[in-house]
A and B are shown apart, each in its own frame.
Chain A
């Protein structure tokens, strides 16, 4: 079933793939995470690598960029064997890796970040600030990034930080650029400029290795697609004949019907959460809406639209004012997350690593951290009860682990998310806000999390889903509110829930007629 292109098909100009991996294998301790993966990348092609979490994508990438050494197999550049001892060696060979996470020092300027570790020095070893600034400006201009080289990274937007990161990675000569889920931190709008950069690089004959979870992106960009599953290569395919559906099936190893659970038909009448005239200074301006009991309400919008800040304000984590907040008809005021939890309001943060889980801790303390009362009779913590709760959570949320003793940071993104969901649900909230439920997690876990969310509302709970992935909101929600610049700029339901509608309301101030519930101020 491998449809790898024969070199002859695309080698009129070039004789050898710029980078070839031969039978790469990698084991950590006794655990093999990658075995027998061969791959070649040609100049001017965008080669996507897809697979679920744990399929070995990251490992493969780290092997290709010198962060790891293969246990078996080897790499060839232009047909000649080469070994990387450090990322530096790969860089010298013209292989650049654009990390998934933004790895920049926020306190430093853009220029300082780009030149970190390879500063240009003048005579007597003093820094040549001007030369660096000019070089940085040129590099930024090349990828269409408009930030000032003097700007502090902490002050620029996430999308711009990513561009700076790309500029940093592309620094110097580059023949192969590896993008590790570059869109994971971006919103829908920010993706296009990035794709332009990638296509531009391709035009210039750079070989692109593109790792992503988002199959629609892969479909849009890739020339060829290599699918990994369980540390092995399933095959390399010509992208032309590959639908996202088919990719998903190849990744999961079974036919894939739908990512989203079938819609529930039900009447939604009773209000569960009513928010009137909410304002969070600097982020949210006069927002009012009602979540019905049993409803899944989507909250769309770009990063910075004020969605997360609205709920941080509600939880008492930021200064905020509300004319009224009613939970199941009762007026409430939360001064702290603890009060919100006690009232039956749960919030699942978008930042599971920074705000959700203690990555260095074991799973049980993580699970019970927000609900210690449940494992704390008078005599102190009941570790047996805690272990039992963890067992139940592992079962209920299908958290996959080798041992109960692992640290939360060792779990895959999807399993961390399930653990976080279990943690929030341990308080038995009646209204749950889930912020970016599936950011950075794989298809199988996504599908499971969607099913969990639906089972929550089937149990009579009510749910708000904040997401930057429009498809997910459309597939899951009964109704979508679109926020823009701190205001609700549209309400969509039924057939009006389309990507173009959501995008329209997220980006432009439409005083539209489909916004009966929203307050279209501008």
Chain B
């Protein structure tokens, strides 16, 4: 008996690599080419370093989101969470600096990380234990975190203590062998994340839970644990991004991280991760974040489109990315 599938699903005819896998890289290539043609400065080492550095926050948060989304969840609270963590971290450091001096910085980082993990755990626990749609839960916590940062800053700004500013500066503005530190951090996060997602039990389970919860459950996987863990990873990633972000502005305000969740989800989706879960692409996510920042940059450098329309262009991109995913599936 030959085993010809009676009606092979169309997706399988011919294509072994889907657009979802190479698409982001091709898109980035095309974008860089267009950018270069429009303005050769676009490819100057300085500009590229700048753009990629700026994309690092979104990239790091989006790496976390790749876990949440590929496990079938969604986290809308990341932007507010980033602001909240930034606020907590700055307040803690300012409080700690009289007694600990510059040691307040690593302590603050630890506090940020713990806060991020706690926020992720909160999201994950409500989603899994409360059996509530992640969309709704994180919509709620999004409001909560945003209100908390507004409350903490009293509607204004909480700036980092002057004495810490110089010491903390290198985390954003420094470099190692010419490579800006935020880029190194996001690369490190991506490497670890790729390992976790592709090469560990947890990664496999994450994908399985996102692809089909029942199959996962019948395979002896604790769906609750896996999904909660994905939110915790998300929280940790937000904290890491916040740690890198603090020196850039030196302050937390009620508008910090505003609408980041949209950029994050856009980066994840154009990176090839399935929004319905079951497929995660860490490197695609990183490329997605870089693409978003390149587009914003290109719009600033060229005069074709007002930079006020950046968000509109990014909105168009997420829709196109979804369409491509849809078509490559048929």
From A58, A361, A400, A423, B7 is in contact (CB under 8 Å) with: A58
Cα–Cα distance between A205 and B220 once the two chains are bound (Å): 53
Closest to B279 in A: A360
Asked whether, in the complex, the Cβ of A370 is within 8 Å of the Cβ of B219, the reply is yes
Given A338-B220, A380-B195, residue A358 in contact with residue B8 (CB < 8 A): no
Residues of A within 8 A of B211 (CB): 358, 360-361
Q: Does B131 contact A (CB under 8 A)?
A: no
Asked whether, in the complex, the Cβ of A59 is within 8 Å of the Cβ of B215, the reply is no
> What distance in Å separates the Cβ of B183 from its nearest Cβ neighbour in chain A?
25
Cα–Cα distance between A361 and B208 once the two chains are bound (Å): 9
Interface of B is mostly: loop
Q: Does A182 contact B (CB under 8 A)?
A: no
From B7, B12, B217, B219, A68 is in contact (CB under 8 Å) with: B7
Q: Which of B39-47, B93-101, B136-144, B199-207 contacts A (4 or more CB under 8 A)?
A: B199-207
Q: How many chain B residues touch the partner (CB < 8 A)?
A: 36
Asked whether, in the complex, the Cβ of B212 is within 8 Å of the Cβ of A358, the reply is yes
Q: Which of A322-353 contact B (CB under 8 A)?
A: 336-338, 340-341, 347, 349, 351
Given A52-B1, A372-B205, residue A62 in contact with residue B7 (CB < 8 A): yes
Asked whether, in the complex, the Cβ of A59 is within 8 Å of the Cβ of B6, the reply is yes
Residue pairs across A and B with Cβ atoms less than 8 A apart, 14 shown, are A29-B8, A29-B14, A52-B1, A53-B6, A59-B6, A68-B7, A317-B217, A337-B218, A349-B218, A355-B217, A356-B215, A358-B212, A372-B204, A383-B199
Q: Does B3 contact A (CB under 8 A)?
A: yes
Given A336-B222, A410-B12, residue A372 in contact with residue B7 (CB < 8 A): no
Cα–Cα distance between A380 and B12 once the two chains are bound (Å): 30
Residues of B within 8 A of A53 (CB): 3, 6
Q: Which of B249-302 contact A (CB under 8 A)?
A: 278-279
Interface code B1-29, partner A: CB below 8 Å = 1, 0 otherwise?
Answer: 11111111100111010000000000000
> What distance in Å separates the Cβ of A211 from its nearest Cβ neighbour in chain B?
11
Asked whether, in the complex, the Cβ of A400 is within 8 Å of the Cβ of B9, the reply is no
From A56, A58, A355, A402, B214 is in contact (CB under 8 Å) with: A355
Asked whether, in the complex, the Cβ of A380 is within 8 Å of the Cβ of B200, the reply is yes
Asked whether, in the complex, the Cβ of B4 is within 8 Å of the Cβ of A355, the reply is no
Q: How many chain A residues touch the partner (CB < 8 A)?
A: 56
Q: Which of A87-121 contact B (CB under 8 A)?
A: none
Q: Does A282 contact B (CB under 8 A)?
A: no
Residues of A within 8 A of B5 (CB): 33, 54, 410-412
> What distance in Å separates the Cβ of A244 from its nearest Cβ neighbour in chain B?
19
Q: Does A15 contact B (CB under 8 A)?
A: no
Asked whether, in the complex, the Cβ of A402 is within 8 Å of the Cβ of B7, the reply is no
Asked whether, in the complex, the Cβ of B204 is within 8 Å of the Cβ of A355, the reply is no
Cα–Cα distance between A56 and B6 once the two chains are bound (Å): 6
Interface code A41-64, partner B: CB below 8 Å = 1, 0 otherwise?
Answer: 000000000001110111100100
10 closest Cβ contacts across the A-B interface? A338-B220, A58-B6, A400-B3, A380-B199, A370-B219, A337-B220, A355-B214, A372-B201, A369-B219, A29-B13
Residues of A within 8 A of B278 (CB): 358, 360-361
Residues of B within 8 A of A351 (CB): 214
Q: Does B221 contact A (CB under 8 A)?
A: yes
Given A380-B195, A381-B201, residue A355 in contact with residue B8 (CB < 8 A): no
> What distance in Å separates the Cβ of B224 from its nearest Cβ neighbour in chain A?
10
